[in-house]
Structure 1
Amino acid sequence: MLMHKEEFIEAINQDWTDIYYHLHHKHHDGLSHQAVRLLQHLEKNRHVTIGDLANLLEVSHNTASEHAKRLIQKKLVEKKRDGKDERKVYVTLTAEGEAAVKQHTRLDPDKLKKVLEQLQEDEVKMVKTAFSILSREAKSCF
């Protein structure tokens, strides 16, 4: 018999936090949680404006603009004008920003490789399948 949904959700969350705790990169750049959220949003979306960032963080346009300025100063993002409508300005990741978002949101490939090498081939396939299913459904739900 399957666990109740609440217990199952708690078990997944506990497993995920264990995975992330043990396999994440070490961070030394002092980026805030909000900065990382902004970088991740920029990585996953094209044509992001300051207004979009304000909506994401649920802050004013001015506050989002200040967040973007700090990331520009750190050379993690840049502003670019739309080629067709120069009134539109988009915030985009720089190469340094792409590297930073990977460091903050992905698992360390060397650590993950070490774990996967300890698994049987069928277990590796199960892990890949499970993550693919969760990713696909998360994208379709939200």
Structure 2
Amino acid sequence: MELDFITKLNQQWTDIYYLLHYKHKDNISHQAIRLMQHIEKRGEATIGALAEYLSVSHNTASEHTKRLIQKGFAAKRRSHQDERKVFVFLTQEGRDVLEQHTQLDKEKLKQIIERMSTSDKDLLEQAFQLLSKEAKQWQS
């Protein structure tokens, strides 16, 4: 029963993303997108935190970060409290690229939602809020 539910949920999720994602304009790796997501969710991150998140060496995370900086998607800044610490953060261009690669196309979504009843919109919002809340609690 649970496995069947999970299989259906995953299939519906991939259908939604496949049908409603933006057309990708940038050639960027999946690992780079994952790094950018981690930075975006945290506001900033150290190379060490990025390496740990991806389960790669510090040097590998540093190389990925260097490529993001060269493309203008990220930048570095030193900590005000500890000059030895360097934080990576997303530039506006990086945030825009991340949105294009991870979010649903706002225009496509708007057209679909406009066709939905108010009660269906409320139900959809509640379902996503519940799943988001549970995911955040599970991660903690």
Q: Report SS of the residue matched to 2:27.
A: coil
> Within 5 Å, which residues of 2 pair with 1:1-16?
4-16=1-13
Give the structure 2 partner of residue 45 of structure 1. Answer: 42
Give the structure 2 partner of residue 89 of structure 1. Answer: 86
Q: Quick check: 47-56 or 132-141, which moved more? A: 47-56
CA distance in 1, matches of 2:85, 2:71: 23
Give the structure 1 partner of residue 131 of structure 2. Answer: 134
Give the structure 2 partner of residue 113 of structure 1. Answer: 110
Aligned CA-pair RMSD: 0.8
CA distance in 1, matches of 2:17, 2:44: 29
- Is 1:32 the counterpart of 2:40 in the alignment? no
Q: Decide whether the 8 Å contact of 2:113 with 2:121 is kept in 1.
A: yes
- Kindly tell me the number of residue pairs found equivalent between the two proteins: 139
Identity %: 53
- Is 1:68 the counterpart of 2:103 in the alignment? no
CA distance in 2, matches of 1:82, 1:97: 21
CA distance in 2, matches of 1:47, 1:96: 15
Q: Where does structure 1 differ by over 4 angstroms across 4 or more consecutive aligned residues?
A: none
Q: Report SS of the residue matched to 2:75.
A: strand
CA distance in 2, matches of 1:45, 1:139: 13
